[in-house]
Amino acid sequence: MALLQDLVNDAQVGEVVSEEKTLSVIDLIFNGGTGSIVIISVLFAMLAVALYIYFERLLAIKAASKIDKNFMNQIRDHVMNGKLEAAKILCAQTDSPVARLTEKGVSRIGKPLDDINTAIENAGTLEVYKLEKNVNILATVAGAAPMIGFLGTVIGMILAFHQMASSGGQAEMGALASGIYTAMTTTVAGLVVGIIAYMGYNHLVNRTDKVVHKMEANAVEFLDLLNEPV
């Protein structure tokens, strides 16, 4: 019986130790002091902004990349038959950067080819600017979030060593270790936010480049159309 009781007691002690070593993310955040809570709150706000911009731009770019495969064929038929107004109406009814560039070119038909090309390039610059709207904020978050997180860790370690200096070197190591590993959570949070923002930024840049290439290809096709013999 005594042996059985000892085993039960050891199991209970093991459970208590296991429970003491278990620490949730919420505990890490709120046990880090006011500075840690403020910095992690700022990082969460930056994460919310980054996610909003990412999904908003992703939907906008996805919509801009959609265009009817027969669009340029219809434009070709209208232009070759001299139906410029019909071509303009078709462009106006198609809500996409490619259609707006084509409409700009159609409206310049009859002028020198260099003027048409310049008008399309200027319109393309505006369309690219619209596609890249607020994307630079993601790059800023990707760079700033890790530094803000590291700042929180440095502040936490300064406070921990200040406690040691104030106590004449008699501060308990448990208290110091608790303060230091809690302060490290700001670096983890900063890295997580930075990685998410960085990946989102690169994905949007890649999607934008595909739309730009499509715009350039259709612009070249339209200019080639104007050079075709009647």
Place 45 in a pLDDT band, splitting at 50, 70 and 90. Answer: very high
Confidence of residue 104 (pLDDT cuts 50, 70, 90): confident
27-41, 106-120, 147-161: which range is least confident on average?
A: 27-41
Q: Structural domain of residue 56, as residue ranges?
A: 32-62+69-224
With cut-offs at 50, 70 and 90, classify the pLDDT of residue 19.
very low
Q: Is residue 129 part of a domain?
A: yes
| 3: confidence class by pLDDT, cuts 50, 70, 90 | very low
Instruction: List the beta bridge partners of residue 111.
Output: 109
Instruction: Specify which of 28-37, 73-82, 208-217 reaches the highest per-range mean pLDDT.
Output: 208-217
The tens digit of pLDDT for each residue in 59-100 reads: 999 888 887 778 888 888 888 887 888 888 888 888 888 888
In the chain, DSSP finds a helix count (H) and a strand count (E) of: 9, 0
Digit-coded pLDDT (tens) for 172-201: 665 566 566 667 788 888 999 999 999 999
The answer to whether residue 44 scores a pLDDT higher than 80 is yes
User: Going by C-beta distance under 8 Å and a sequence separation of 6 or more, which residues neighbour residue 179?
Assistant: 33, 156, 159, 160, 163
Compute the distance between CA of residue 218 and CA of residue 14 in angstroms, rounded to an integer. 70
pLDDT for residue 47: 94
32 band by pLDDT with thresholds 50, 70 and 90 = low
Question: Does a structural domain hold residue 132?
Answer: yes
Mean pLDDT, residues 25-30: 56
Mean pLDDT value across the chain: 78
Token duo for residue 147: 């530094």
Radius of gyration, alpha carbons of the chain? 31
Number of domains in the chain: 1
Indicate the SS3 state at residue 109.
Answer: strand
pLDDT: is 230 or 83 the higher one? 83
Q: What is the pLDDT of residues 147-178, one digit of tens each?
A: 998 888 887 777 767 666 776 656 566 556 65
Q: Is residue 10 part of a domain?
A: no
Residue 107 inside a domain? The answer is yes
Assigned domain for 155 exists: yes
Examine residue 15 and state whether it is found in any structural domain, yes or no.
no
Query: Is residue 85 included in any domain, yes or no?
Result: yes
pLDDT higher for 137 or 7? 137
CA distance 147 to 168: 32
pLDDT at 16 over 80: no
> pLDDT at residue 230 above 90?
no
Query: 215 with 67: CB under 8 angstroms?
Result: no
The answer to whether residue 13 is domain-embedded is no
